[in-house]
């Protein structure tokens, strides 16, 4: 049997299923553990490590929060952060026109400002995110003359407003035995030699594991390995479609989340008065 510590903090991957998937850290659930939520404890445990960030992609770890909170952030990123899209082409902003060519790409889209937009933005500022997205192929004699209106929206209305392409939550760690390297993705397991010359496999980089569970196919290794994930460790990988930097997106998402919480609290308050 797994120890209570394991049950509390780990999601265990077995050969045919996953156990301890549910959050259990509510007060009084386990003898000897005080799981009441407190600001200090949270502040002490909570951290965000940014692993990687560029214009389009960002990967960060969020440690010390409940799955529900992390999921809320993911859902907001997917559905509720504002973004501009034209058709399914992610763009920077407003209406534009086409010329004709054998291959119509987004490069040919030109922004026509309306109202005071011309004063606010440069012509170059507002454009499709990528200039080489193929829209249509034309045969001789065909042409496209088209005006488009860019509309602001969120992913909830229509998927093309979703600013994020992939969002992932992935807490991971592995416990191991010998000669496992093959069973895992490159770099997950490292073989070390101790002073006695005994070869020993050590988890080097659990982040790189793809969870193929290949070990469980080997009878000899099966029982010597334990795969589990840390319950409150989430790896987010945010890929922006280009309009905004991913970090801005995350900040936006957090703002939305804060806004929602505020709204909820105020609702609670107002209803308290009623009763």
Partner 1 sequence: METSGKINDNFQDLTKPIKTVEDKWKLLPAFLKVKGLVKQHIDSFNYFINVDIKKIMRANEKITTDADPVWYLKYLNIYVGSPDVEESFNITKPISPHECRLRDMTYSAPITVDIEYTRGKQRVVRHNLPIGRMPIMLRSSNCVLTGKSPAELAALNECPIDPGGYFVANGTEKVILIQEQLSKNRIIVEADKKGTIGCSVTSSTAERKSRTNIVTKGNKFCLKHNALSEDVPVVVVFKAMGIECEQEIVQLVGCEDDVISTFAPSLEECHKLHIYSQLQALQYLGSKVRQRATWGKSRTKVEEARELLAGVMLAHVPVIKYDFKPKCVFLALMVRRVILACSDEANVDDRDYYGNKRLELAGQLLSLLFEDLFKRFNNELKKIADQTIPKPRAAQFDIVKHMRQDQITNGLVHAISSGNWIIKRFNMHRAGVTQVLSRLSFISALGMMTRVNSQFEKTRKVSGPRSLQPSQWGMLCPSDTPEGEACGLVKNLALMTHITTDQDEEPIVRLAYNLGVENLRLLSGEEISHPSVYVVFLNGNILGVSGNYKRLVEAFRLMRRAGYVNEFVSICPNHQHRFVNIASDGGRVCRPYIIVKNGKPKVQDRHIQELVQGFRSFEDFLHEGLVEYLDVNEENDCSVALYEKEITRETTHLEIEPFTLLGVCAGLIPYPHHNQSPRNTYQCAMGKQAMGSIGYNQRNRIDTLLYFLCYPQVPLVRTKTIDLIQFDKLPAGQNATVAVMSYSGYDIEDALILNKASLDRGFGRCLVYRKQNCLLKRYANQTFDRVMGPSRDASTGEVIWRHRALDADGICAPGERIENKQVLVNKSMPIVSPTGLQPGTPGQPPQPEYKDVPVSYKGPRDIYVERVLVTSNADEAFLIKILERQTRRPEIGDKFSSRHGQKGVCGLIVNQEDMPFSDLGICPDIIMNPHGFPSRMTVGKLIELMAGKAGVLHGHFGYGTAFGGDKVEDVCNALVEKGFNYVGKEFVTSGITGEPLTAYIYFGPVYYQKLKHMVLDKMHARAKGPRAVLTRQPTEGRSRDGGLRLGEMERDCLIAYGSSMLLLERLMISSDAFEVDVPLLLIISQYFNPEDTLRLQTSFPRTYVHEHCSTTVTQALHG
Residues near partner 1 (CB under 8 A) are 11, 13, 16-19, 21-23, 67-68, 70-72, 74-75, 78-79, 88, 155-156, 158-160, 162, 166-170, 185, 210-214, 217, 229, 237
| Rounded least distance, CB 68 to partner 1, Å | 6
Cβ atoms within 10 Å, residue 138:
14
Which pair of tokens denotes residue 109? 């889209």
| Rounded least distance, CB 70 to partner 1, Å | 6
Distance CA 111, CA 98 (A): 10
Cβ atoms within 10 Å, residue 169:
16
Q: Which residue lies nearer to partner 1 by CB, 81 or 126? A: 81
Q: Which residue lies nearer to partner 1 by CB, 126 or 256? A: 256
| Rounded least distance, CB 216 to partner 1, Å | 9
Q: Which residue lies nearer to partner 1 by CB, 167 or 240? A: 167
| Rounded least distance, CB 137 to partner 1, Å | 14
Kind of pairing, strands 199-203 and 189-193?
Answer: antiparallel
| Rounded least distance, CB 230 to partner 1, Å | 12
Strand partners, 12: 19, 228
Q: Is residue 23 exposed (0-12), middle (13-18) or buried (19+ Cβ within 10 Å)?
A: middle
Q: Which residue lies nearer to partner 1 by CB, 33 or 216? A: 216
Nearest to 214 by CA among 186, 190, 180: 180
| Torsions phi, psi for 272 (to 5 deg) | -60, -40
For residues 10 and 229, is the Cβ–Cβ distance under 8 A?
Answer: yes
Which pair of tokens denotes residue 88? 């399914």
């Amino acid at each position: 049997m797994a120890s209570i510590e394991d049950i509390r903090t780990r999601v265990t991957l077995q050969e045919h299923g996953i156990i301890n998937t549910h959050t259990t850290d509510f007060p009084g659930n386990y003898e000897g553990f005080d799981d009441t939520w407190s600001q200090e404890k949270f502040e002490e445990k909570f951290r965000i490590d940014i692993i990687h960030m560029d214009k389009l992609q960002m990967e960060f770890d969020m440690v010390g929060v409940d799955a529900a909170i992390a999921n809320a952030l993911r859902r907001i990123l997917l559905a509720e952060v504002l973004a501009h899209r034209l058709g399914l082409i992610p763009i920077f902003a407003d209406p534009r026109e086409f010329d004709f060519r054998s291959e119509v790409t987004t490069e040919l889209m030109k922004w026509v400002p309306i109202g005071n937009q011309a004063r606010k933005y440069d012509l170059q500022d507002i454009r499709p995110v990528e200039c080489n997205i193929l829209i249509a192929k034309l045969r001789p004699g065909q042409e496209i003359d088209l005006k488009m209106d860019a509309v602001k929206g969120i992913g909830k209305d229509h998927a093309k407003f979703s600013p994020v392409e992939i969002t992932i939550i992935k807490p991971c760690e592995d416990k191991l035995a010998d000669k496992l390297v093959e069973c895992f993705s490159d770099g997950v397991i490292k073989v070390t030699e101790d002073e006695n010359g005994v070869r020993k496999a050590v988890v080097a980089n659990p982040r790189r594991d793809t969870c193929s569970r290949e070990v469980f196919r080997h009878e000899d290794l099966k029982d010597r390995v334990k795969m589990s994930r840390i319950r409150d460790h989430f790896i987010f990988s945010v890929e922006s479609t280009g309009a905004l930097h991913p970090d801005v997106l995350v900040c936006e998402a957090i703002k939305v989340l804060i806004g929602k919480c505020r709204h909820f609290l105020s609702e609670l308050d107002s209803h308290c008065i009623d009763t």
